[in-house]
Structure formats: C-alpha cells, structure tokens
Structure 1
C-alpha cells in the first residue's frame, strides 16, 4: 500500500489571534518606550537650556555691575566727581517702561514682585577713538563724554511670557531687549559698607537704602544745594557688593509634592524675615503655577563685589 503524505495546514484562528496580540503588545511597548524617551530627552534639553540661561544672565548682570566702578581719569582727572549721581540705583517690586529716560515712570506692576537694578557708567568710545571697553547690557559701545546705562528688570513679552530685560540708551532713543526668558522672579540686595572698611555690614533692599537717605539732615539753603549734598552722602555710594537672585522655570515636574514647594531666592532665613517687607523673595509654586501643572524651577544667585573707587 502507498502511504498518504501529510497535508500542510495554516494557522488556526486561535493561533492567529495570539500572534496578533503578542505583536501588538510589542508594538505598544516599543511605542510607549519611544514616547517616554522623547519626553525625557525634551525635559533634559529644556533643563539644560534653563541652566545655561541662568548662568548667562548672572554673567551679564555681574559684568554690568562691575562696570559701575569704571572711571575715565583722562576726563575726570582726580577720579569720580563726589557730587555725581551714585553709579547704582534700584527699585523694589517695580517695572520700568520700554522707553523713557532711566527709571522715570516706573510702575508697581511688577512680575511676582521682581526688582529693578540700574547701573550707570562712563563711556570710553569705540575704536579707533576709544578702546571699546564701555559696553551697555545690549553690547553697544558707549562713547566718551557720554553716560551709559544698563537697567535690568522683568516684564512680559507679547506672548505673555516673563523675561529678564535690559534697558539701555541708544543713539537716538531708549530701548530694551530680552536677556533671557522663562524668568519667574528677580531680586536684588545691596551690601552696605557704612564704615568704609571694604566689607558690607549688612544687606538691604532698595527701599531700605532710600529710607536711610530720607533720614539724612541735608545741608544747603536751596533745593539744588541739598540735592548736591545728598549726592555726596547718599548711602547708595556706600554699597560694597550686590547680591542678585533669579528664579527660572523649566519643564513640568513629575514630583507629586512639587505643588507645595516654596522657592526662597535669598534663603529660608531671609525669606522668613522679610517675606512681608520684600515682596518676591519667597515665591510659592502653587501661586506660580496658577492651576497648571507644577514646573521644575531653579534659583540662580551670585554676589558681586565692587572696588572702593566705585564708591
């Protein structure tokens, strides 16, 4: 008898369904892994950009503050004029307009209680008539016999995002440019060196320095003479160092407890001491998020020392 060869059969419906289920599970797992990796990469890139922006902003502010110590000895001869305005000025919880002279028309519509820091410095001119060393915060050269300004403040752009801005005096008008974005707060403290030993005894905000100036008994029969005496004796010329702090935000935070965070721009001790008197030094995540998902935020801070000749 001749043997009958076995017949070949395809997959049954059960085997086909199992194979499809396994394949679909692998695809879903791979897709989920890809989405997770993409989100992690995007969050890491956004965090790295935040770190770069924070460091760049501190460097720009420090460079401007140190420039306040500059003096054109060829013009002034004996050094800075004691009756000239102080090279540093500031406002607490304020914002300055995009244009207009200096700190004029500043408003209290500050972003999260952010401060204003203004730096004045003499020009040096651009080559070949100058060395090009006197630059405002926008990178433009300030010519000799002119006064340069670098004013840092926080404002919202056309999209509603808060950013650290730099206001400067251009060739024909005042203007301002963004330094870095994603800024939630900007705070400044001034180290007062009342005994002129080169080291600050205490750090005060701009309002406290103005209160000390208001308590001075000024000499002079006229308002102009009293103003000149104030310029000689102002506490702003006794500032030996400047502390600045910036709060920047990055990607959404995965932590469940992130909504309860409190961001202390100058540390918990100062925040507890001055929370009511210095708005913006203590910012709460729940208020910053405003009902949205909490974000990863980081405080960037530095202390900038001034040489004695700047005072």
Structure 2
C-alpha cells in the first residue's frame, strides 16, 4: 500500500494569494466608486436640466404674455395708449427686496452680477391670466394696474444662503408685494434685449444689448414738451424698451455637492466668448470663473442654459 503525503499552501503562497485578492478588491472598489460617482453626476446633471427647463418655461410664458390685453373686457382698453409705460423693463447687476414697490430701490449687492427682468400685462375678471408665481391677475382699468412678473436672483437669507431665482409679484388686492423662489443653485442670471432698430419697425431684432444700453439710449433722446410731465409722456412714446422684439436669457446653475469634474471648463461665458470678451467689464455676470468664487462653490457640477424668446405681442 502506497501512501502519498498531502502538501498544504506554503506561507509565501498564502501571502501572494491574499495580496492578489486585496488588489482585486481594491480594483473592484475603484470601479464601483467610479460608477457610483458617475451615476450621481448624471442624476445631478438631470436635476440641473430640469430646474433650468422649469425656469425657462416660467420666463418664456411670462414674456409671451407681456403686453396682453383682454379684448373682451369692458374695463380694459382695447389697445395700449402711445404714452403708456413700456411692458418690459430690466436692470443690470442688481437684486431686489421682495417687499419693495416693483423694481424701485434696487439692491446693488447682486449675486455675481445677476440681472432683473420685469414684465407687465393686463389681467382678466376671472383671474385666468396668471403671473409668474401662478396667481391669477384681475382686470385692470388703467395701465398702472397691470400685473407684474419680475425675475431676479437673491440669496436665501433664512436657510443656507443658497442663491435662488425668484419670481416677484404684486398681491391680488393690489396692495403689497411678494416673491417666491423658482429654483435654487443659481450662479448667474443674465438678460439681453433684441432691439429692432429698423424704421419702420419690422418686429425683428437687429442687435442684442443689455438694460444699461437701452437706458443710455433713452437718456440720449431729445424730448419734446414744455413741462416735465409732457417730456415724460414723450419719453414713454419713444422709449427703446418699446422696440424690443425678443429677449435672450442665460442661466448658469450649480448642483448641491462637490463634483470633482476634471473636464469642467475654467470659465463660463453665458452669451458666448465674443460677447464676454467685449462686455465682461461693463456687464458683470456674463463671464463666470469658478476659481474666483467662494471655496465652497468651486467644485460644483455646473450647467449653462440659454434661450431666445420672441415677444408675441407688438410693442406698446
């Protein structure tokens, strides 16, 4: 009878096996972490896209409603008077107090040079016309009673200080103002206005300028009238704000957590590099450099969204 001796693993073989197993586990863990990070980044990117689409839907709906008049109502005029104020207004690199009157007394401490966009429109007796917050706007007997939808960026003072795109509106009873957040995580909100410079106007934008440029062109007008009231009426008739045919809007959004994306661009030009190169000095916010932001915001996942929206109603 032949007996064969059984041999186990040597210590060296055991250590090699353990080492290989450890390397395999490390590699598997790295793949799992990368897959998890990729999934979270995709989820966050989708959330940013959803936020941007929601904001653009609200802005586009309000812009296309601008200058609307209820032709069936007896209290509202069938057409805007030539000396009525423009249905469109804006401010560059400003923010607002949610309780202030309209866009009066703006705040200079804007979030990264974000702009203000203000829109006016007539309501209806049944409140079927909604402002940017989704509240019905009643019929207006005069142009001063038109509804408001105002978009601006401010920090959440009662929470973590995150920047929000807000919708400001006048209360349904016409007394007092309110503002609600539409989306959070806004780096910059920028607006350009498509100016129809043709005479006569053809409703097509020939150039895009910011709010400050429109105000500067208005300031250069030589107004007719013997009194200040007459000159003001002439300004309302001739203001360049009534020659705006379309509006270009850009939003730079960031996610809530650190992304660590090595492929992220070093800067974001909200209206393209050419415009930023020419105007970034006078129009802050059109170029955002993440490295210059506060440390807690530098490593965020970011998404830039742009849209050009035509105005449906004629200038008034």
- Into which bin does the TM-score normalised by the smaller protein fall? 0.7 to 0.9
Distance 1:23 1:308, change over 3 A: closer
Deviates more, 1:3-12 or 1:277-286: 3-12
Question: Is residue 184 of structure 2 the alignment partner of residue 181 of structure 1?
Answer: yes
Q: Secondary structure at the match of 1:103?
A: coil
User: In the alignment, what sits opposite 2:244?
Assistant: 239
| Aligned residues of 1:82 and 1:231 also touching (Cα < 8 A) | yes
Q: What is aligned with 1:306? A: 311
Deviations 1:7-48 (A, max 9, x none): 656544444434433333333332222222111110111111
Give the match for residue 66 of structure 2.
Answer: 68
Q: Which residue of 1 aligns with 2:114?
A: 114
Q: Deviations over 1:122-176 (max 9, x none)?
A: 1124xxx35x1x1111111111225221111111113122221111122353111
Consecutive unaligned residues of structure 1, counting only runs of 5 or more, are none
Give the direction of change, closer, same or farther, for the CA distance of 1:50–1:232 in structure 2 (3 Å limit): same
- 5+ residue gaps, structure 2, are none
State the match for 2:281 in structure 1: 276
Q: Which residue of 2 aligns with 1:149?
A: 148
Contact 1:72 1:79 (C-alpha < 8 Å) held by counterparts: no
Aligned position for 1:81: 81
Output aligned runs, 1:131-210, within 5 Å: 132=128, 134-145=129-140, 146-157=145-156, 158-171=159-172, 173-194=176-197, 195=199, 196-210=201-215
- Secondary structure in 1 aligned to 2:148? strand
The whole-number CA distance in structure 2 between the counterparts of 1:107 and 1:21 is 63
Please state whether the residue corresponding to 2:314 is helix, strand or coil.
helix
Aligned length: 302
Q: Give 3-state SS (helix, strand or coil) of 2:103's partner.
A: coil
SS at the partner of 2:293? Answer: helix
Whether the 8 Å CA contact 1:289–1:295 is kept in 2: the answer is: no
RMSD: 2.4
Residue pair 1:252, 1:296 contacting (<8 A) in 2 also:
yes
* Cα displacement (A) at 1:6: 4.7
TM-score, normalised via structure 2 length: 0.86
Native 8 Å contact 2:69 2:77 kept in 1: no
TM-score in terms of structure 1 length:
0.87
Structure showing greater Rg = 1
**Offset, 1:290:** 4.2
Output one character per residue of 1:207-243: Cα deviation in whole Å (capped at 9) or x when no partner: 1111121222323333333222222221111111111
Cα distance change, pair 77–104 in 1 and its aligned pair in 2 (3 A): closer
Give the one of 252, 267, 274 matched to 2:272: 267
Deviation string, structure 1 residues 62-105 (Cα, Å, up to 9, x no partner): 11111113112233343112222211100001001122211122
Query: Alpha carbons of 1:45 and 1:72: their partners in 2 closer, same or farther (altered >3 Å)?
Result: same
